[in-house]
Amino acid sequence: MPSAHDGPLPVNDPNTSTGAAHTLVAELLELLELERLEDNLFRGPSRDIGTTRVYGGQVLGQAIQAAQYTVTDRPVHSLHAYFLREGDHNAPIIYTVDRSRDGRSFSARRVVAIQHGQPIFTLAASFQHAEDGLEHQARMPEVPDPDALRDVSEYAAEVKGDMPEKFRRVVKKMTGPAEIRPTEPLRSADATAASALFKNFWFRIPGPLPEDEMLHRAILAYVSDYGLLTTALIPHGIDLSSANLQIASIDHAIWYHRPLRVDEWLLYSCDSPSASGARGLARGNIFTRSGRLVASTAQEGLIRVVK
């Protein structure tokens, strides 16, 4: 599977200069800029984040970009993806796009990500031209404003000495590009990857980014894999540092409700309604700072405690 777990959240060094932050954003944009090989065939680079496999959000974001390259003036409104095999971060990924349908209002695309001759990921996505309709939404939870919260890097620095070596390596690599501010304080006594403790957190990409709605939706997909599945661990009092834990993403879904910008603060509010049969389900709602619901996510994953 491209993502053995949904990974620790990116840690921005509070001492990182503005120039370095801009470099991280430029690297993200480069990661999501695919090379067109044929009309429906694309190639994307891979990034080493300190794990032995490709980060699932990278494959998700690149697959959406590949599909979007074949659609004109219709942003993606929903997607459903499956992680099939581990991705190799030392090799590029080939994306094949099937133009399933182009109707008067909707377009449908299917994408297969391939490495070393085998599919590692599949995606089905739907696109719709903008139109008016009925409006309602879930209410944003009452949480502190991001300006009143500490950056995740400050918490990571406090618990770094207690983190297992494998998580220290990932934290070192994951130096961006997102700024993350959890709404609940992390307890420094917990020797854990920070993402296992989050239920609500603010995030943004240091901007400004280009005025491209499709790019913002692809970047949102990239970030949406952070900390989602680990929400299913919270009710059981375990975390990613547990030696007898196996956790891996199985699928991922996103529904885009309204226009959004990822270079402005967004609240990711996650919960887990169920875990059973060695699988856990996690859901997320993503709100703007003003409380507007812009996207919803869902992910099921393998959660196996080996006795």
Residues 43-62: tens digit of each pLDDT? 999 887 666 678 889 999 99
Concerning whether 225 is annotated as a catalytic residue, the answer is yes
Structure-block tokens of residue 277: 């049969």
* One-character DSSP codes across 159-186: HGGGS-HHHHHHHHH---S-EEEESSPP
Pick the catalytic residue: 68, 115, 153, 249? 249
Asked if the bond preceding 208 is cis, omega within 30° of 0, the reply is yes
Class of domain 18-305: mainly beta
Distance CA 84, CA 61 (A): 16
Q: Is 279 exposed, middle or buried (0-12, 13-18, 19+ CB in 10 A)?
A: middle
Concerning whether 251 is annotated as a catalytic residue, the answer is no
For the chain, domain boundaries: 18-305
Distance CA 184, CA 198 (A): 7
Concerning whether 249 is annotated as a catalytic residue, the answer is yes
Q: Please list the pLDDT of the chain residue by residue as tens digits (307 residues).
A: 444 334 433 434 434 445 666 788 888 999 999 999 999 999 999 887 666 678 889 999 999 999 999 999 999 999 999 999 989 888 999 999 999 999 999 999 999 999 999 999 999 999 999 999 999 999 999 999 999 998 877 766 665 555 555 555 544 444 468 888 988 865 433 434 444 445 899 999 987 899 999 999 999 999 998 889 988 988 887 877 676 888 889 999 999 999 999 999 999 999 999 999 999 999 999 999 999 999 999 999 999 988 7
**Residue environment code for 22-58, b if the CB has 16+ CB neighbours within 10 A, otherwise e:** eebbeebbebbebeeeeebebebbbeebbbebbbbbb
Pick the catalytic residue: 107, 153, 272, 299? 299
Pick the catalytic residue: 225, 239, 269, 272? 225
pLDDT at 226: 86
